[in-house]
Structure 1
Amino acid sequence: MDYDTFVDQVAQRTGTPAVRAVELTGAALETLAERLTGGEVLDLAVQLPAQLQVVLKPGPDNEAAQRFGAAEFVTRVAVRARVDESTARVAVRAVFTTLREAIRGGEFDDVAVQLPREYRELVEPALAPGSALRRP
């Protein structure tokens, strides 16, 4: 999936303009990179467009996954994107769903397995049948 399609799908799922979808996507991916191990971040990044890979680059200070729960994940996204937590929650679900469509094989499952059970409400919409956008 190319960058414009990724952003367009997040925009459609969140009901926001593309420029806002870019901010929401960046905030969600940056937070996800903090929550995953460095190796998993690299595995994920290589399957995404270059504009999204930049956000997912692990550094020496984030090789190990940070331990924080789903509520903190949403809070971090909200702060980064300068939105309320309700909007951030919708954005996280939209980004996870689009991410699942954008990457090959079981890579999304590898990402999801690194997240504790409490992330279920954020991740499961991406795993649900029919979560893909329907094209007219």
Structure 2
Amino acid sequence: MNYDTFVDQVSQRTRTPSEQAVELTRAVLETFAERLTGGEVLDLAAQLPQPLQLVLKPSPSTEQADRFGAAEFVARVALRARVQEPAARDAVRAVFTTLREAITGGEFDDVATQLPRDYRGLVEQAMAPGATLRRT
């Protein structure tokens, strides 16, 4: 999946303009990079378009996963994207669903199943059969 398609799908799923979808995507991916180990981040990034790889690039401070729950994940996304938490929650779901479509080999599923149970509400939509975007 190319970058424009990724952003377009997040935009459609969140019902936001493309510019805001870019910010939401960046906020979710930066937070996801904090939550995952550096190796997991590299595995995901390798399958994404270049602009998204740059967002997911691990640093020495993100080599170790920062263990925080789903509520903290949403709060960090809201802060980064400068949106309210309900909008951040919707953005997380939209980006996770789009990530799952964008990467091959079940990599997203492998990562998602390693997240604690309290993330279920954020990843279930992405994991559901037929979660792909239906264009009208």
Global fold match (TM > 0.5): yes
Match of residue 45 from structure 2 = 45
Q: Which amino acid aligns with 2:89?
A: R
Q: How big is the shift at 1:130?
A: 2.0
Q: How big is the shift at 1:110?
A: 1.8
Q: How big is the shift at 1:107?
A: 0.3
Provide structure 1 residue ranges, at least 5 long, that are not aligned to the other structure. none
Matched residue pairs, number? 136
TM-score by length of 2: 0.98
SS in 2 for 1:24: helix
Question: Is 1:133 the equivalent of 2:133?
Answer: yes
TM-score by length of 1: 0.98
Structure 1's consecutive aligned runs of 4 or more residues displaced over 3 angstroms after TM superposition are none
Matched ranges for 1:71-110 at <5 A: 71-110=71-110
Question: Is 1:54 the equivalent of 2:54?
Answer: yes
Match of residue 113 from structure 1 = 113
Contact residue 36 and residue 114 of structure 1 kept, 8 A: no
Contact residue 10 and residue 94 of structure 1 kept, 8 A: yes
Q: How big is the shift at 1:134?
A: 1.3
SS in 2 for 1:89: helix
Counterparts of 2:12 and 2:46, CA distance in 1: 24
Residue deviations 1:51-73 (CA, integer Å, cap 9, x gap):
00000011111111001000000
Report percent identity of matched pairs: 76
Q: Which amino acid aligns with 1:84?
A: Q
User: How large is the Cα RMSD of the aligned pairs?
Assistant: 0.7
Q: Which moved more, 1:107-116 or 1:33-42?
A: 107-116
SS in 1 for 2:40: helix
